[in-house]
């Protein structure tokens, strides 16, 4: 975990980066910068007719490129408006042989016509991707469901901007990532156009369709709306009422909110868990109980906008950088809202984890265990120990520098170590190794802030230097 790496170019993927947890998601020779998606969808028949224009550059000297697309039928492919040498689509991979070889950096627009009856992709994590609701659609792409509805470079590091156009029947509300640019009714159908400028991982792109109504939670500084069935109007109004206060707390602790707006969708169906997407989160009807029974999850999903969506792990091996931070945000909100202190929550969680199997390395959990609840909780414990080691002022300085330096980019654990060192002068390699790189749960150290300050001083060797985060 030691070592200092330079900040990545935000929103740009490493063309050779392979994710060990997604062995079938190999680099396809393209560095995608933008997806332009036009989707014509019929809810009753679950029929999708679509066109994707993928704007990219060649990441090397290439005579062929490829994209991921699962469960749908490709009917045509153009490259820069012309037929390629050849193309084939099998086993979830669209392979395209170019009409002529191109050198590194050549701009390409790959135009794909496709369609069919979209459905979720089945894999180690259950069913993920495009899924029918009782009356509508939910797209839950984490971690490998994006190719269930559009051709893409499906790696978390392969971030790009999006334009998403959805045409569907009247009577349905459509929610996608980004800002709604236009809504045009045409006979019995409505065309919705969304523009998302910030780079995002394909798994965080989404389409939500349902018989919903919109209510405003906040007009600013971050516009916030809840999109939900009318029958849940009273319950969701109560359950999400404190979300603007959460937003204010997290903006103070983590730095400015990274996107233009934040929306919440509550489906008419029940969902096992809520899920995050770029600039929005999705909850099931069961999460709007009118008693704030899922408020910790409201905090968790909101925190993902910083940790996971703006700052995205370069590979799924570092998923603790998403889930540990979001789980810790739950503790921060409970502490702020007058509940248990973060210290008390840390002790309770440590006691519970102590009685569970000690066989999970959260810094490399393996694909089968990357969503294990122990990773979430132990990740939060790691951050709390780091907080008490550094002391509150420096800990939150680190978080704000972390989110600013790698805004809209990709991150790794060594980059976090480097950020701590730059901001505070402390070398926390050993501390993080103990909590992230070994299966045994470390003992929870004494947590009062005064003792933490002395530890931080030793980690710095008596020196203190503050390096402001780059923009």
User: Average pLDDT, whole number, for the chain?
Assistant: 92
Question: Per-residue confidence at 18, pLDDT binned at 50, 70, 90?
Answer: confident
Output the pLDDT for position 446: 79
Output the pLDDT for position 440: 97
User: Which of 122-126, 311-315, 421-425 is predicted least confidently?
Assistant: 122-126
Whether residue 9 has pLDDT greater than 90: no
* H-state helical runs in 147-225: none
Question: Per-residue confidence at 461, pLDDT binned at 50, 70, 90?
Answer: very low
Q: How far, rounded to the nearest angstrom, does the alpha carbon of residue 398 sit from its chain's CA centroid?
A: 21
Output the pLDDT for position 320: 98
Phi-psi region of 290 (alpha: psi -120 to 50; beta: other; left: phi over 0): left
**Joined tokens for residue 183:** 């809504």
Whether residue 448 has pLDDT greater than 60: no
Question: Per-residue confidence at 14, pLDDT binned at 50, 70, 90?
Answer: low
**Cα angle 279, 281, 287; round to 5:** 160
Using DSSP bridges, classify how beta strands 262-266 and 126-133 pair: parallel, antiparallel or unpaired. unpaired
**Joined tokens for residue 131:** 């899924």
What's the DSSP call for residue 291? S
Q: Which residue has the higher pLDDT, 346 or 8?
A: 346
Whether residue 468 has pLDDT greater than 50: no
Output the pLDDT for position 154: 95
User: Which of 103-112, 256-265, 295-304, 461-470 is predicted least confidently?
Assistant: 461-470
Host H or E run for residue 30:
strand 30-42
Phi, psi of 406 (to 5 degrees): -110, 25
Host H or E run for residue 395:
helix 392-405
Show contacts of 89-95: CB within 8 Å, 24+ apart: 92/24, 92/68, 92/147, 93/66, 93/67, 93/68, 93/69, 94/66, 94/67, 94/68, 94/69, 94/151, 95/64, 95/66
Question: Per-residue confidence at 415, pLDDT binned at 50, 70, 90?
Answer: very high
Contact between 283 and 274 (Cβ < 8 Å): yes
Whether residue 466 has pLDDT greater than 50: no
Q: What is the mean pLDDT of residues 192-217?
A: 97
CB neighbourhood size of 205 (10 A): 25
Instruction: Write down the pTM of the prediction.
Output: 0.92
pLDDT in tens, 95-122: 999 999 999 999 999 999 999 999 999 8
Whether residue 10 has pLDDT greater than 50: no
Q: What is the mean pLDDT of residues 274-291?
A: 97
Using DSSP bridges, classify how beta strands 30-42 and 160-169 pair: parallel, antiparallel or unpaired. parallel
Q: Of 135, 134, 138, whose CA–CA distance to 120 is shortest?
A: 138
Question: Per-residue confidence at 456, pLDDT binned at 50, 70, 90?
Answer: very low
Q: What is the mean pLDDT of residues 8-14?
A: 45
Half-sphere exposure of 139 (CA within 13 A, CB side): 25
Q: Of 414, 381, 386, 412, whose CA–CA distance to 399 is shortest?
A: 386
Q: What is the mean pLDDT of residues 209-234?
A: 97
For residue 323, give Cα distances in angstroms to 307, 308, 382.
Answer: 8, 8, 12
Question: Per-residue confidence at 452, pLDDT binned at 50, 70, 90?
Answer: very low
């Amino acid at each position: 975990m030691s070592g200092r790496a330079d900040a990545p170019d935000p929103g740009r993927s490493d063309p050779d980066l392979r994710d060990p947890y997604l062995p079938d998601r190999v680099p396809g020779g393209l560095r995608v910068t933008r997806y332009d998606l036009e989707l014509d969808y019929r809810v009753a028949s679950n029929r999708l007719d679509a066109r994707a224009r993928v704007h990219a550059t060649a990441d090397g000297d290439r005579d062929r490129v490829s994209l991921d697309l699962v469960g749908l039928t490709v009917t045509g492919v153009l490259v820069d408006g012309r037929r390629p040498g050849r193309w084939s689509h099998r086993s979830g991979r669209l392979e395209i042989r170019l009409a002529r070889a191109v050198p590194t950096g050549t701009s390409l627009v790959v135009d794909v016509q496709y369609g069919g009856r979209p459905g979720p992709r089945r894999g180690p994590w259950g069913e993920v991707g495009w899924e029918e609701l009782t009356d509508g659609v939910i797209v839950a792409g984490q971690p490998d469901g994006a190719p269930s509805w559009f051709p893409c470079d499906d790696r978390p590091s392969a971030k790009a901007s999006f334009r998403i156009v959805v045409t569907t029947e009247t009577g349905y509300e459509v929610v996608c990532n980004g800002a709604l640019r236009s809504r045009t009714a045409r006979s019995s159908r409505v065309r919705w156009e969304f523009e998302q400028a910030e780079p995002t991982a394909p798994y965080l792109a989404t389409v939500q369709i349902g018989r919903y109504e919109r209510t405003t939670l906040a007009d600013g500084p971050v516009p916030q709306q809840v999109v939900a069935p009318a029958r849940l109007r009273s319950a969701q109004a109560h359950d999400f009422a404190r979300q603007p206060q959460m937003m204010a707390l997290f903006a103070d602790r983590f730095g400015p909110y990274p996107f233009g707006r934040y929306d919440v969708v509550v489906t008419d169906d029940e969902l096992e868990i809520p899920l995050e997407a770029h600039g929005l989160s999705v909850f099931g009807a069961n999460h709007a109980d009118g008693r704030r029974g899922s408020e910790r999850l409201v905090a968790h999903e909101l925190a993902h906008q910083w940790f996971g969506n703006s700052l995205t792990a370069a590979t799924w091996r570092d998923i603790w950088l998403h889930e540990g931070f979001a789980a810790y945000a739950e503790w921060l909100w409970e502490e702020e809202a007058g509940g248990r202190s973060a210290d008390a929550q840390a002790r309770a969680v440590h006691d519970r984890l102590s009685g569970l199997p000690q066989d999970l390395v959260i810094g490399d959990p393996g694909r089968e265990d990357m969503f294990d609840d122990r990773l979430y909780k132990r990740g939060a414990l790691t951050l709390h120990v780091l907080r008490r080691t550094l002391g509150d002022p420096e800990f939150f300085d680190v978080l704000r520098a972390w989110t600013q330096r790698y805004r809209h980019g990709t991150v790794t654990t060594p980059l976090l170590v480097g950020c701590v060192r730059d901001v505070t002068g402390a070398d926390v390699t050993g501390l993080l190794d103990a909590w992230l790189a070994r299966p045994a749960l470390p003992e929870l150290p004494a947590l009062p802030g005064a003792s933490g300050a002395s530890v931080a001083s030793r980690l710095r060797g008596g020196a203190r230097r503050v390096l402001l985060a780059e923009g």
